[in-house]
Amino acid sequence: MASEVHEKRLIALLILVERYRKGDEAARERIYRFYLRHLGRVNNWDLVDASAHKIVGAHLESRPRGVLSRLAASSRMWDRRVAVVATWHFIRSGDLKDIFALADRLRGDTHDLMHKAIGWMLREAGKRDERALVEFLRTRHERLPRTTLRYAIERFPEARRRAYLRVRGRLRRVPA
C-alpha cells in the first residue's frame, strides 16, 4: 500500500479483498482497520471501486454504519467515494437506505467522479427496487447533477429517460 506505483497498490488491495473474504472475524477486523488507516493510499477510482464495497461495505453489513457519514464528510474526494461505493454491498442485498441518504447528502458535491459514483450506485439500487429509485428521484431529480441523473436512469425506458432529462430546470411531471 505504501508504493508510489498505482498497480502495486491495486494488487495489494485485491489481496486484502481476498483475505477479507476468506478471513475469520478477527482477520476481517484487522483488514478493515488497516484499510481505513491507509485510505490515503486508496486514491484512484479503480482502487476505490475494487475494494470499498468488499471491505468497508462487507464489514459494516451487521455493524453501525457511522463511518460512512464520517467518510462522506471528508474533504478528500476519495474518502467520499469510498462511502458511496461501500453501499454497493448493502444494495446487493436490497438495503437501499444508505445510498439514498448519501446521495441526498452529497448531491452538491462538485467532483465529477462523485457524480458518477452516486449515479452508478443509484442505478444499482434501481436494479434491486426500481420503484424505490423512482420514488427517490420523484422529488430530487431536478437537484441532482446531470451526470448523476444520467447514470441513475440509464436502465429506464427511453421515453422515461428523456422525460427526466427534459424536466431538469422546468416543473413538469415525469411519467411513472
DSSP-assigned letters across all residues of 84-107: HHHHHHHHHTT--HHHHHHHHHHT
The answer, yes or no, to whether residue 170 has pLDDT greater than 70, is no
19, pLDDT greater than 80: yes
Measured on CA atoms in the order 86, 14, 11, 121, is the torsion positive or negative? negative
Domain 6-167 carries which CATH code?
Answer: 1.25.10.90
Spell out the residues 6+ positions from residue 67 whose beta carbon is closer than 8 angstroms to its own: 36, 56, 60, 83
Span 94-102, mean pLDDT?
A: 98
pLDDT digits (tens, 9 = 90+) for 30-74: 999 999 999 999 999 999 999 999 999 999 999 999 999 999 999
On the 0-12 / 13-18 / 19+ scale of CB atoms within 10 A, 165 is middle
pTM for the full predicted model: 0.93
**pLDDT tens digit sequence for 110-126:** 999 999 999 999 999 99
Which three cell numbers mark 148? 448523476
